[in-house]
Amino acid sequence: MYDLIIIGGGPAGLTAGVYAVRSGLDTLVLERSEIGGQIALADIVENYPGLPSISGVELMEKYRSHAQGVGVKTKITDVLSIRSEGAKKIVSTDSGELESRAIIIATGANPKHLNVPGEREYVSKGVSYCALCDGPFFRNKTVAVIGGGNSAITDALLLSRIARKVYIVHRRDRLRATKILQDRAFTTSNIEFIFNSCVTEIVGSRGEIRRVEKIILKNLKSEEISELAADGVFIYVGIHPNTEIVNVEKDQEGFIKTSPSLETSEKGIYAAGDCRDTNIWQLVAAVRDGALAAIAANEYLESLNEQIK
């Protein structure tokens, strides 16, 4: 039996692993594929303190190397479910069951995709799901923001201070964002709205340097097809947390609710990073969560040891 099993090998999970091992906990990190996380998809990371410019893959290699260097054990396996049997936690995987005294869920969340031709092909080559992460690469360029909720309008406003022109493409005839965000967007001179329209394809160059060049739009009322030149496409049609494996209290979107110490509604189970109910999905926040969850888990395990004595 392990002291702590961490599910997810992204920034939150590996940070938790480092802190847990340094606390003397017998720790295992589980990941369904090669250790990475969403940040590995980032072409360049420029907002992580101390590393002004680094690729997402390079940064994750540094995380992995650091974790392995301090003795964090990892295993590639697909986690199917988690259950508690008293103080013992059972993690069911596609390669058998594992037992632990505490668990940290750091499974992250994935942006929902449009699932149109060209989207996956041009990820990190003009297609993005985070303006805060990638907006600076589109300074004085033309971008399209897809969506009409708070995330879409918030990031469109951010992009309006960077890009020359921002188009907001929304499939409905009105926005879903809060009024204050709508008011700001409607009064921003370089933001233009395209309502009642959806993206049917993302088109780009196919040479040695592949970049987005335009999007194909369909008007949902007239069914007219049109083209819109754009250097970047920022997609905000929702985000899906990877939390189906655990039965704890969640919000209506599936994000795990946590206490200030990041404990879930189940004693001894913690959540860290993008899978939990948080107001910021950023690398630095995930790292902070990983450290806090590991410290809290260690305190929980120490309290169990005291009870045994």
DSSP characters for 27-75? EEEEESSSS--GGGG-S-B--BTTBSSB-HHHHHHHHHHHHHHTT-EEE
- Name residues whose C-beta falls within 8 Å of residue 151's C-beta, 6 or more positions apart in sequence: 236, 239
Mean pLDDT computed over 106-119 = 93
Does the global pTM surpass 0.85?
Answer: no
Two structure tokens written together for 135: 């907006």
- Give strand ranges (E) for the chain: 2-7, 27-31, 73-76, 79-85, 88-93, 96-105, 109-111, 127-128, 142-146, 165-169, 191-194, 197-204, 212-219, 225-229, 232-235, 239-241, 269-271
Q: Which CATH architecture has domain 2-110+239-308?
A: 3-Layer(bba) Sandwich (3.50)
Percent composition of the chain: helix, strand, coil (DSSP 3-state, to 5): 30, 30, 40
Is residue 222 classed as helix, strand or coil in its secondary structure? coil
| Among candidate residues 2, 25, 5, the one with its CA nearest the CA of residue 13 | 5
Mean pLDDT computed over 191-203 = 98
* 15 has pLDDT over 90: yes
pLDDT digits (tens, 9 = 90+) for 41-74: 666 777 788 988 888 888 888 999 999 999 999 9
**Domain covering 113-235, topology:** FAD/NAD(P)-binding domain (3.50.50)
Mean pLDDT computed over 292-305 = 95
Cα angle vertex 277, ends 271, 283, to 5°? Answer: 70
Mean pLDDT computed over 241-255 = 94
For position 243, what pLDDT does the model report?
Answer: 96
Confidence of residue 309 (pLDDT cuts 50, 70, 90): low
Let me know if the fold of 2-110+239-308 is the same as that of 113-235.
yes
Residue predicted with more confidence, 238 or 103: 103
Is residue 263 within 8 A of residue 292, CB to CB? The reply is no
| Domain boundaries defined on the chain | 2-110+239-308, 113-235
- The residues annotated with a catalytic role in the active site are 130, 133-134
| Among candidate residues 281, 280, 270, the one with its CA nearest the CA of residue 243 | 270
